[in-house]
Amino acid sequence: MATQVVLPETITRAGADEMQERIAAAKAALGKRLVVLGHHYQRDEVIRHADFTGDSFKLAQAAATRPEAEFIVFCGVHFMAESADILSADHQKVILPDLNAGCTMADMAETDQVEDCWEQVTSEIGEDILPVTYMNSTAGLKAFVGRHGGAVCTSSNARAVLDWAFRQKPRVLFFPDQHLGRNTGYRMGIPLPAMPVWDPYEPVGGLEGRDLPAARIILWKGHCSVHNRFTPDMVDRRRAQIPGVQVIVHPECRFEVAQKSDAIGSTEGIIKTVQASPAGTKWAVGTELNLVTRLARECAPERQVVSLDDCFCVCSTMFRIDPPHLLWVLENLAEGRVVNQVKVPPRTTREARIALDRMLEIR
């Protein structure tokens, strides 16, 4: 992967107001040749310039509705830009404002580790298993899943994808987020002992011989560094502080947190649930702080919305996308220079697209 260059002083020394004005001017100059995608976790001063907002897959799909756009600037993290490149047309170029904006969860499952796991598991239990990868994974892992007959899932359709997978095979290898897999599997009636965790840094994944044949879902030892912060004590504390509060958390949260909550929802699901709730409702939301803060502002004063955590709970990698980097890529595009393009190799694109298309076909 290419490295991020140091921004010029003409950008880094610009004041906040000047930067916003220059971003707007560069956008205007590019016109319909440009579409800017902003993930829900982005800070306000970035997302204000987005033509579409949403979660990672919704944004990748949104880009397809703008075929006239030559440039897709994705204000998100690297795996999101890869997915947009896979789903976009050949003439479109996907740009990530800061190439250092990665995803710690996606980094917890490397392609060679998953291939090694697959070889060990299938040598033990045969071919009666199907791989499913969360959207929050590299293009290489999506391609691996495509080659082996599996599918991609999002946090909103994980159950539907697992239902589909179990119609094909009796077992699933689910990666990279153990919590999404466990929370979804448990709600489908799968007991916890039937969902062992594969640790790629331990021999045979740290599992005993009897664990694999008895498994329904083999979970990868990975997690979201933001959602893993939430604890059951935080749920208890919010209930004590705010009488009548309802707790809603993302399915990437720990099992114990999800069990204590009133509702579980994907990023889009959380927003819709809170916005549709009756006036006077109080919510404690277990997800990224930028989203919660924006939701609280939009729902006030009819509803009270607070974060489940008192601490500064932001996605640090998403936070790398800031006005200076957005300005830098837009001004370069306006001047005819393409920088920070994210391009997935053709074979990886073909195989990953198979897994993504399977997901879209699942009902």
Give the chain's end-to-end CA distance (angstroms, integer): 35
Are the C-beta atoms of residues 233 and 207 closer than 8 Å to each other?
no
What does the chain come to in residues?
A: 363
Measured between alpha carbons, how far is residue 98 from residues 184, 318, 324, 327 in Å?
33, 10, 10, 11
One pLDDT digit (tens) per residue for the chain, 363 residues: 678 999 999 999 999 999 999 999 999 999 999 999 999 989 999 999 999 998 877 887 888 889 999 999 999 999 999 999 999 999 999 999 999 999 999 999 999 999 999 999 999 999 999 999 999 999 999 999 999 999 999 998 999 999 999 999 999 999 999 999 999 999 999 999 999 999 999 999 999 877 899 999 999 999 999 999 999 999 999 999 999 999 999 999 999 999 999 999 999 999 999 999 999 999 999 999 999 999 999 999 999 999 999 776 788 888 899 999 999 999 999 999 999 999 999 999 999 999 999 998 887
DSSP state of 284: E
Q: How many CB atoms are located within 10 Å of the residue 361 CB?
A: 9
CA distance 302 to 251: 26
- Helices 56-64 & 78-87, crossing angle to 10 degrees? 30
Query: Considering the entire predicted model, what is its pTM?
Result: 0.93
Sorted by where each starts, the structural domains of the chain and their CATH numbers stand as: 9-101+317-346 (3.40.50.10800), 106-225 (3.40.50.10800), 227-307 (3.40.50.10800)
Q: Is 281 exposed, middle or buried (0-12, 13-18, 19+ CB in 10 A)?
A: middle
One-letter amino acid identity for 31? Answer: G
